[in-house]
Chains A and B, each alone.
Chain A
Amino acid sequence: MRLVVLGNPENRRIRLFIRACRGLGMPDPIVLAWSDYLKDERALLDVVDSCDVLRIESPGENAEVNSQLVARGGDLPFSTSEFDKGRIGQQRSWFDGFSSVLKRLKELVGGKIQFVNDPDEIVLMFDKLASQEWLQSRQIPIPKILGTSAGSNEVFELMHRHRVRRVFVKPRHSSSASGVVALQRLGSRVLATTSARIEGKNLYNSLVVNRYHDFEKVRYLLDELSLENLFVERWFPKLSVYGRIVDFRILVIAGRVRHVVARGSQSPMTNLHLGNTRCDLDLIKENLGETLWEDVIQVCEMVAASFSGCLYIAVDLMVSSSRESIAVAEVNAFGDLLPNLLSEGEDPYRAEMRELIK
């Protein structure tokens, strides 16, 4: 079997993936750079004949590729200068570009080559609203979606109508908690907890969690984020264990739950890169009890079954603070970068490829 990987060659994902292939005695995969493919799609056609399987990797963490995808989506990309580094925006045009590129890719080589993960399903996972609705249609528990919003007025109106004081406001096409706001309102008080930082007129991703208590600022934040399509869901109160708020990143490979990370945080944002920590999973499992953990596994496997074109899928899963129920926060197409995490002695890439060549 010969693999081709479409990815950013400088990225550690590729390095770790090649290492996994070698460990299994497979020939090195052909690495096709996103930047080359975006310049000329024939770059893929040239290798299709000599390969059987295509793995599509994240185009992220590469400013040039990012700009090209945004441009494909019909926007003028932010500059790559220091000023625009980490700036929030253009997620919608990035998604439009990315989805059109993947659709075209499937037309181009679909039928000629096997996909590790199906391009259409990858696209679906990058539409956070559509993928949650898809899960819901398959009877998979998710936080209740209250609606979409075009601005702060609509967000507050939704909260009022549903009589809730806590919601999560999420950009439809973000990744890694970028632009996500945990919003609370009670009477004249408001609190927005978010990784977004208002600086001048722009919003930037920050590595610390910011809290805004001022109505004017919260409105500005929500209005700016609304340019990127927002949806509003109920705040699912997450499990607290040992003083940390915890959720789970669960990698399902070939239909089976494999790698699990319990992510602990002192804020409602549990994404690892926001200065949070991996918790001791065994301790937490013991704390939760066996029955609940079996439910967690069952839900993750249902999620995987609803994305049947994918060999692997990363599920972000929450257990409620009351320990009574669980909900899927989101699914991730490229959520298998979990360095140094082993399941049955295998890292995620090795586990995926061993299933592939089975």
Chain B
Amino acid sequence: MIEDYTHQWEGIPVVPFNPEKTLDCPNRIYRIAYSWNHEERGGFEKQFATYLSDPKCEETVGLSLGLNDETADTFYDDVVKSVISNRVKFPKLRWLFAGEMLSEDSEITWIEQGDVGLPLLGSFPNLEELHVRGCGESFSKVKHEKLKVLVIQTAGLDKDTFEGVVSSDFPELEVLELWLGCEERDADVTVDDLRKLFNNNPFPKLKVLRLMNSELVNEIAKEVAIAPILDQLEELSLAFGVLQDHGAKFLLESERVKKLRKLDLNHHYMSEEMMSKLEVLGPEVDVSGKEEADRYDDEVCYYVAVSE
């Protein structure tokens, strides 16, 4: 369900890094990744050393960190740590994607992230966007004056990470995207945890809230539909989850939801009838990706979009 690599950010093309060519920063953003087709380029460490030695390195505005290695014993945390320990080489870094891999590179649960809160965000005070893909990260709370977009994509988000994010101080944060995942992948954020965010939103400038890829989406829909946070939002996404009619009906009945500009419910298990009702609700609604439940004998199974 993760569609593709990032191809551009703010009009700047994001391209694969080729260690044999010199950097063209700030006109290009590079994705440093082990390449199946260029084993001679080596893994992340080797390529990153080349990147750092280029005089244009300090002009870097964005960086994507892809597949680190093809070997069986490296963990992704080391990649992020390398970038942190070279923070002085990236004074102008505004966009960072840690773990930009598609399922054909690595399954999301196999990307083992470390603490992407204070150690990472604290190291890059000019960062405006942070995207993190992978599981097992933690998030120690941090104050960051410039962060506008925070995206954490997992198949199972843990309570500590969630608490770390919502107790952080992000005065400029406009977009918050959290993939909550499923219990089987150790997701343990509860609806009670989320209610705190809905009722006491700590981010004054938040406009876009995406609570995606969640097994709890029906309960979340019920809570969020009556939550004060909606009054400041332009866009709400409950995409990639297991939304069914019994959850969606709370969205349909909500005056607050009606006033949103955009409602993204892509990947769901709703009926055609519910889909057509939602489409005329008011906001621009995405109800694409209608899924059919799997049936095994007496058991009916609903799956989030990214769980492997």
Task: Give the interface of A toward B (CB within 8 A).
Answer: 159-160, 163-166, 184-187, 189, 191, 208, 211, 234, 236-243, 245, 266, 268, 320-322, 324-325
Given A186-B110, A320-B36, A322-B37, the answer on whether A242 and B70 have CB atoms closer than 8 Å is: no
Q: Mark B13-55, 1 if CB is under 8 A from A, else 0.
A: 0001000000000000000010111100000000000000000
Contact, CB under 8 Å: B71 / A237: no
List the B residue with the shortest CB-CB distance to A143: B36
Is B72's CB under 8 angstroms from A186's CB? yes
B129 CB to closest chain A CB (Å) equals 22
4 closest A-B pairs by CB: A237-B104, A325-B37, A243-B3, A163-B71
Which B residues are in CB contact (< 8 Å) with A266? 1
Residues of B within 8 A of A234 (CB): 36
Contact A163 B104 (CB under 8 A): no
* B1 pairs with A164, CB closer than 8 A: no
Is A237 a contact partner of B72 (Cβ separation < 8 A)? no
Q: Is B37 touching A191 in the complex (CB atoms < 8 A)?
A: no
**Distance between B17 CB and nearest chain A CB, rounded to angstroms:** 11
B300 interface residue, CB < 8 Å from A?
Answer: no
Given contacts A184-B107, A243-B2, A321-B104, contact A159 B16 (CB under 8 A): no
In this complex, which of A186, A245, A266 has the most chain B Cβ atoms within 10 angstroms of its Cβ?
A: A186
Asked if A240 and B104 sit within 8 Å, CB to CB, the answer is yes
Give the B interface residue count (CB, 8 A).
23
In the assembled complex, the Cα of A234 lies from the Cα of B37 at a distance in Å of: 11
| Cβ contact within 8 Å between A242 and B110 | no
User: Smallest Cβ distance from A165 to chain B, in angstroms?
Assistant: 5
* Given A243-B1, A245-B103, A268-B104: A165 in contact with B36 (beta carbons within 8 A): no
B interface secondary structure, majority: loop
User: Which residue of chain A has the shortest Cβ distance to B289 in the bound complex?
Assistant: A243
The yes or no answer to B118 lying at the interface (CB within 8 A) is no
| A322 interface neighbour in B36, B70, B110, Cβ under 8 Å | B36
CA distance A96 to B38 in the complex (A): 39
What CA separation (Å) do A288 and B4 show in the bound complex?
13
Give B6 Cβ to nearest chain A Cβ, in Å.
Answer: 13
Q: Is the CB of B72 within 8 A of A240?
A: no
**Are B107 and A191 in touch, CB under 8 angstroms?**
yes
Contact at A165–B37, with CB atoms within 8 Å?
no
| Chain A residues closer than 8 Å to B105, beta-carbon distance | 237, 321
Q: From residue B208, how far is it (CB to closest CB) to chain A in Å?
A: 21
Q: Which of A164, A187, A322 has the most chain B CB atoms inside 10 A of its CB?
A: A322
Give the complex CA separation of A239 and B73 in angstroms.
25
Report whether A240 and B3 are in contact in the complex, using a CB–CB cutoff of 8 Å: yes
**Of the candidates A164, A245, A320, which one forms a contact with B72 in the assembled complex, judged by CB atoms under 8 Å apart?**
A164
Q: Mark B89-132, 1 if CB is under 8 A from A, else 0.
A: 00000000000001111010010000000000000000000000
A-B contact list, 8 entries, CB within 8 Å = A164-B71, A184-B110, A208-B294, A237-B102, A239-B104, A243-B4, A321-B5, A321-B104
A211-B72 contact in complex given A236-B36, A238-B104, C-beta closer than 8 Å: no
The reply to whether B16 and A321 contact each other, CB–CB distance below 8 Å, is no
CA of A311 to CA of B41, assembled, Å: 41
Q: What is the minimal beta-carbon distance from B276 to any residue of chain A, in angstroms?
A: 24
B16 near A322 with CB under 8 A, answer yes
Contact with A along B225-249 (1 / 0, CB 8 A): 0000000000000000000000000
Task: Judge if B308 is at the interface, Cβ distance under 8 Å.
Answer: yes
Other A-B pairs beyond A237-B105, A238-B104, A324-B37, 7, CB < 8 Å: A165-B71, A187-B73, A240-B102, A243-B2, A245-B104, A320-B36, A325-B37
The residue in chain B whose Cβ has the minimal distance to the Cβ of A323 is B16
Bound CA–CA A189/B110 (angstroms): 9
In the bound complex, residues from chain B placing their C-beta under 8 Å from that of A321 are 5, 102, 104-105
Q: Which of B37, B38, B72 contacts A185 (CB 8 A)?
A: B72
Residues of B within 8 A of A185 (CB): 72
A184 contacts across to B, CB distance below 8 A? 107, 110
